[in-house]
Structure 1
Amino acid sequence: MPSYTFDAYGFDTITTTGPDPFDSNNTGNSDSVANGSTIRIDPSAVASDLVMIDNDSTFEDGDGQQELADPLTLNGTQFSPGTSVETEYAYVIRPVGSTDPGDNITIYVLEFDGDVVGIASDKRLIPGQEYKIVSIASNDPTIAYADMAVCFLRGTLIAVPDGERAVEDIQVGDLVTTVDDGPQEVVWCGRQKVSGQGNLAPIRIARGALGNNRDLFVSPQHRILVAADWLAGGQEHLVPAKALVGLPGIGISPRYVVHYHHIMCAAHHLVRANGAIAETMLPGPEALRVLGPVAQEEIAAVAGPPESMPPARPCLRVGQWRRMLRHAERVSRIAPVMAHPVP
């Protein structure tokens, strides 16, 4: 049977106010809605990887085929593979102070072998953020695994001054370690949830393919630093990941839904991502077009007009790269495509 992985938090990492929304093994607590109960993930909490197997593509209540695939410890109790897992009921929550339905998150109460033990969600929960319970979403919920807060790019490690940090944990004001200019401040962060099919399917760069020390997944247009002696002048260039498909270890990795994370500095920089060298966001017209008006306004406020940020290296379009690659093959000058060596 297929396996699925998503984030889970045990109740021992959650603080509540008002009537306890998790006091039942069967149904949501309407009093917690009426009285505006809140929940907060402890600031130091780290989500657990809940890995389960199922004979279909939906997570639901009353499905006896849903089982843990790997051991998991929640609330100090270790649950073994084969433990029955269901989603017993669900709430809609949003950050305290927000009235925007666009901020809504659905949390799914997890039941292991008949007892509720924690929550999962359809969007990432931020530790330390307080959320108000808005409504009971369902007492018999069903959700596609593809719509859970899964781990595309979660765990992708970006070099920072004190080591490495997962990209989803990087916030505005944090420092990232750049290849050319050392520590630089992040001035904007963004996240998109999109279909992982067709021209949006992520590109997988297998461990070692471009100097990376673990598999790296990026969006098709995300530029990666490459170098080869047959490139113009032997220079380093930035090339869209999709242009590299077909090289050893690089291919398309479609899935139902993906979460793309963006980090931008005041200038265009190169950073290590899982050991490979990739760009920070360059706010050109194409990148801005797909982000939407709100993000465009935020970026304009911190970065100015797109033409004011030159690229960190010469950028090749997909067609340019492929023509150069074909020419190199014809004249037998093809050489490995390299990135900076891993230190």
Structure 2
Amino acid sequence: MSQSLAAFAEAVQSLIKNDGTTAYTYETVPHGATDQPDVSLTAAEPYVFTDCSSWVNYALDSVAPIHQAVVAAEREDPRFNIGTVTAYGSVSVDINEAAEPWARADVLSYFFGNVADGTDGFTGVSNFADLQAGDIIAYSLGIYTDPSAPDAATDPALQSTSDTGHTAIVIGDPVAVPEDDWAGTGLSPDVVAVYAVPVIDSSTVAHFTNLSDFTEPVADSRTYQAQTPPLQPGGLGTGTIWFGVNAAGQAIQFRFDEGDPWFPNTDSLSGEAAVSIAAARLTSTIDLSGSMLNADNQLVVDAFANNAAVLNGTAYNTEAEQITGAGGLLIEGAGYLQLQAGNSFTGGITLDGAILNLGGTDAAGTGTIAFAAGAQSTLQFDIAATPANAITGFAPGDTLDILGLSFGDAGSVSYQDGVLTVSDGSQSTSLTLQTADGLSDFVLASDGNGGTDVTVACFVAGTRIMTPDGERAVEDLATGDSVLTADGDAMPVIWIGQRRVDCARHPRPETVWPVRVEAHAFGQGLPARDLYLSPDHALFHGGVLIPVKHLLNGDTVRQERRPAVTYFHVELPRHAVILAERLPAESYLDTDDRAAFDGAVTSLHAAWGNDARPDAVWVREALGCAPLCVTGPEVESARRLLSRRSSQAALPARPALRRRA
């Protein structure tokens, strides 16, 4: 078992494999959905098991409404090397080499030798005392039934509506339980030893409460009947599960704690009734302390790209889970993490590239929320859940996404004495916020979902220009410094222009409002972070220069209204294509608009390009490094690329938790 998986176990979250990536995806399918989770795997990657109610219905090919927890096992782990299984529809797959999900939960019967039709039991574990942190355990409830039986269409007992499987991650050493302590009603005479195994598991959701009423799939359709009340995903906890083991080393029974009934038991295997239990013995608190934290006293959350997760949340018929302790959270990656209300941990949160959604004013505990430098992170919250935490390090590329605060002409933003106040004209909210480098120019824009994005003016500081020594912030460049062109040549800077524009007082503000090119709009890492350009600033694509205002699509390339903006321009000995946030863009070309920048006689209202000089097009044709195009096939090609990338944009998904030294 890899060290990373052991740390992952100690830390608390588990996930499903996402096709073609190194991330894991935890996916919950809502009621009424007919889609099925994507569980496509590659041979070299870790294998995955999922825990969900009614797993026995469709197994991993499931539309079960609740996926409580998901755990990953090494593909070659002998505990899961249980051979070939014939799934629903006569599809045979090798469990360790499956390329697609199984359609039936025959799989579960292999983990418990006394479940009907089960033959092998949990064959890989010959000695439960050898289990260690990071290992995966699985157990089953209820009866196993055959949907192909003649009466299955009319007999609910034959439709697998009363079985489920469960998985958990071991987080400590199993303890052999003295025989005097484990004898009890329902214990099989075949049990020769009992081990108490500490685990991380899903929260107090009923593992199976007989609420599920699924129908068998017809052909390739995936249908099920609605449930009342609906089951909900979320939550996790730690606790101890007792496993009864037979002479062959098979885990044939379990219970959640001393005094609980043993499952499966003889009554549950009669074919007439299903086991109905809840994991009420598992605790509902995550304490950020001890070995799960790194050297900085933080629990590391890998928010992998294209993933979303609820670290703590409200489960079915339970109160919200809570995060306590003196530790903090380091949330890194490019994924999505949600924290629900009611947390009291004091170590704070560091955002290092991820999206963090806060479900309450106290969801982030009581510590500071820090934006890591250069990471382009997003803090998302409803206006009613505005955090009281101090926020630090907010910089170009970072975003505050305020849900429920409408974006429109009546919107305003102000920043004074470390307090940021944002209003939509009818309601407002305030945050204690410290920006990186003392920046104070803020921008409002639609978040695309009825809320408002707040960003800091990128050109004031932070836009990174590629140099022979790596990327440097544009405001740090000076005359004589070298930058790299898109061709890889080093060229010296001969002039830096800087101009603060009062857009609110400009007679034609649409000509000076910046255009935001979202990260990865043209491809992975192109640009590497959100890039802000003046409307006439040209990007290099397909061998031509295209003013960015001609690529506006209202989505990944859009103009942002802001009261003020500071623009920088970098001039080289000749017009060239340089890399701004790794996206090819033109250097400054003097079309007689130099006076618009600091260090020269300044016009009252800024104007560049054609607005500054009517014959600017002729200057570009004579001195430009590439043709300037505003229409034609090259422009259409760029627009198609932007549209394709926008439509392929992945939804956020779920992070893994691990301990990092």
Q: TM-score, normalised by structure 2?
A: 0.26
Q: Which protein has the larger Cα radius of gyration, Structure 1 or Structure 2?
A: 2
Whichever structure has more helix as a proportion of its residues is 1
Whichever structure has more strand as a proportion of its residues is 1
